[in-house]
Amino acid sequence: MIDPLTLDQMRVLIAVVETGSFSGAARRLGRVQSAISQAVNTLEGVLGVTLFDRSGKTPALTDAGEAILKDARRLIEGARSLKARAESIAADIEPELTLAVDAFFPTRPLMASLKALNDEFPRMPVSVFTEGLGGSEQRLRDGVARLAIYPVIPIAARDLAAEFLTEVALIPVVAANHPLAALDGPIPREALEAHVQLVLTDRTALTQNLQAGIIGHHIWRFADLSTRLEFLLAGFGWCNMPAHMVIDDIEAGRLRRLTLAEADASLLRVPIHVVRERGREVGRAGRWLIEDLRKRLAGPACTAHRQELEEKLGASAEDEGGPRALVA
C-alpha cells in the first residue's frame, strides 16, 4: 500500500503558512488554488487532525497545525540533506568522513584544515577521534575511521597504506622543581637512570619501536599524552614531549628543558603519516583535507610558527649550555 503522506503535502503546508493564504501558496508553487486546498484537506484527513482554522479571512494554524508544521519542516530539511548526500556520493565525495588523529599531531593546523573542509563541503558529516598511542590505528582497523594520522613504525603493516605528512620534534623536559632541573650542563645517562622516566605505552608494535628512547630504570607508563603532561608538571619524573605541547610551560618556568649528554638527534623527531586501509580508497573530501593539511604545514603560518618555536627552543638550549634541538 502506498503511503498517502507525501513530501509534497509538507511543502504545501509550509507554503500556506509562509505566504499567509491558500492563494499565496498557489502562486508560489505555480498551481491553482483548488489544488492547494485539496492537498491540505488530504493531509488533514491522513493525519486525522485539523491544521487550519478557516473561520477568519485568512487560514490560521491550530495548535495541532503548529506542532505538525515543525515536523514538516524537519522532514523537508531531511529530504534536502538526503538529496545533497546522494549528489555528493555521485560526485565521489564520501557520505561521511571519519578521522582518527594521534595526540602527537599539532592541533593548530588540524583545526584550520577542518574548518576549511566544512566550508568546502558544508553538508558532509565529519567525525574526529583524538587518540592516544595506538588508538588511531585501532580506529582504522576497526573500520570506525576512514583516515588516521599518527606515528608509523618504519616497517608498516602490509594492509595499510601510509603517506608521510610531517615530523614532530620531541625534547626532554622536567618540572622546574625536580632535582634534574638543578643540574648544569649536559646530563649523563647515570644521572637520568636514578630518576623516574615517564613513558608512553600501549600494546602495538609502535611502543616496541620506541624502546630506544627509554633510558631510566624506574619507568612509569602512560596511555595518553595529556595525563603524562599532568604528572610531568607535578614533578613525578622526566620525559620527551612534543615541543609544541610544552614550549609555553618552558617559557613560563613551569618546565625546564634538559640537555642530555648522550642525546641522539635522530630520536628527537617523530614522523607522522596519514594512513588508510589498502583497497579502501579515499574520496574527494578526504583527498582535499590531506592536501589542505600539507599546504598549511608547509605554508607561511606554520613555517613562522616553527621558526618561532625553534628560536624559543634554541634560546632555552643555549641558556643550559647545550646544542639546539631539531624542530620539525
CA dihedral 15, 20, 25, 27 (to 10 degrees): -140
CATH of the domain at 30: 1.10.10.10
Q: Is residue 83 part of a domain?
A: yes
Same domain, 192 and 314: yes
Q: Which structural domain, as residue segments, surrounds residue 202?
A: 169-267+309-319
Same domain, 110 and 76: no
Distance CA 210, CA 150 (A): 14
8 Å CB contact between 283 and 94? yes
Residue that is written with C-alpha cell 503548529 in the block: 66
Same domain, 130 and 225: no
Position 93 scores a pLDDT of 62
Tell me the pTM.
0.61
Amino acid sitting at position 60:
A
Same domain, 313 and 196: yes
Amino acid sitting at position 188:
P
Q: Is residue 326 part of a domain?
A: no
Same domain, 68 and 139: no
Q: Is residue 1 part of a domain?
A: no
Q: Is residue 175 part of a domain?
A: yes
Same domain, 213 and 247: yes
Q: Is residue 119 part of a domain?
A: yes
8 Å CB contact between 148 and 137? yes
Same domain, 277 and 227: no
Same domain, 234 and 283: no
CA dihedral 43, 47, 49, 50 (to 10 degrees): -10
* Mutual angle of helices 63-90 and 7-19, in 10-degree steps: 120
Domain C-terminal end among 44, 62, 90 = 90
The helix or strand, by DSSP H or E, that contains position 12, with its residue range, turns out to be helix 7-19
8 Å CB contact between 172 and 260? yes
Specify the number of domains making up the chain: 3
Q: Is residue 325 part of a domain?
A: no
Same domain, 136 and 23: no
- Over its length of 328 residues, how does the chain's per-residue pLDDT go in tens digits? 446 788 889 999 999 998 989 999 999 888 999 999 999 999 989 899 999 988 888 889 999 999 999 999 998 888 877 776 665 566 556 788 999 999 889 988 999 999 999 999 888 889 999 887 788 888 888 888 989 999 876 555 677 889 999 988 889 999 999 999 999 878 988 899 899 999 987 655 444 445 556 777 889 998 888 899 999 999 999 999 998 899 999 999 999 999 888 755 444 788 899 998 887 778 888 999 999 999 998 865 555 455 555 555 555 444 444 333 322 2
Same domain, 127 and 213: no
Q: Is residue 327 part of a domain?
A: no
8 Å CB contact between 174 and 247? no
Same domain, 47 and 182: no
Same domain, 215 and 74: no
CATH of the domain at 186: 3.40.190.10
List the Cα angle 155/160/162 in 5-degree steps: 70
List the Cα angle 267/230/130 in 5-degree steps: 70
Q: Is residue 277 part of a domain?
A: yes
Q: What is the CA radius of gyration of the chain?
A: 30
The DSSP output letter for 236 is S
Position 230 scores a pLDDT of 96
Position 92 scores a pLDDT of 58
List the Cα angle 326/314/166 in 5-degree steps: 30
